[in-house]
Amino acid sequence: MNAPAASPYTLPAVEAGRMRHIISILLENEAGALSRVAGLFSARGYNIESLTVAPTEDASLSRMTIVTIGSDNVIEQITKQLNKLIEVVKVVDLSEAAHIERELMLIKVRATGKDREEMKRMADIFRGRILDVTETTYTIELTGTGAKLDAFIEALDKTAILETVRTGASGIARGERVLRV
Partner 1 sequence: MDIGVKLAAPELTGAEIVIRCLQAEGVEYVFGYPGGAVLFIYDELFKQDKVKHILVRHEQGATHAADGYSRASEKVGVALVTSGPGVTNAVTGIATAYMDSVPMVIITGQVPTHAIGLDAFQEVDTVGITRPCVKHNFLVKDVRDLAFTIKKAFHIAQTGRPGPVLVDIPKDVTTAVCRFEYPETVAMRSYNPTVKGHPGQIKKALQLLLEAKRPMVYTGGGVVLSGAAAQLAKLVKLLGFPCTNTLMGLGGFPATDPLFLGMLGMHGTYQANMAMQHCDVLLAIGARFDDRVIGNPAHFGQVPRKIIHIDIDPSSISKRVKVDVPIVGNVPEVLEDLLKQLEGQLHKIDQQGLAAWWAQIELWKAKDCLRYDRGSRIIKPQFVIEKLYEVTGGDAFVTSDVGQHQMWAAQFYKFDRPRRWINSGGLGTMGFGLPAAMGVYLANPGSTVACVTGESSIQMCLQELSTCKQYRLPIKIVNLNNRYMGMVRQWQEFFHGNRYSESYMDALPDFVRLAEGYGHQGMLIDKPADVEPALREAFARKNDLVFMDFITDQTENVYPMIPGGKGISEMILAEDL
89 versus 147: smaller Cβ distance to partner 1:
89
Residue 148: C-alpha distances to residues 38, 86, 145 (Å): 26, 36, 5
Contact stretch for partner 1 (CB under 8 A) within 46-54, 80-88, 92-100, 124-132: 80-88
Residue from the set 5, 13, 16, 181 that interacts with partner 1 by CB under 8 A? 181
Q: Is residue 149 a contact partner of residue 105, using CB atoms and an 8 Å limit?
A: yes
Residue 58 touches partner 1, criterion: CB under 8 A: no
Q: How far apart are CA 73 and CA 79, in angstroms?
A: 10
Q: Exposed, middle or buried, 86 (CB in 10 Å: 0-12/13-18/19+)? A: exposed
- Residues 84-123: x where in contact with partner 1 by CB under 8 A, - otherwise, as a string: x-xxxx----------------------------------
| Residue ranges binding partner 1 (CB under 8 A) | 27-28, 31-32, 35-36, 39, 43, 73, 76-77, 80-81, 83-84, 86-89, 181
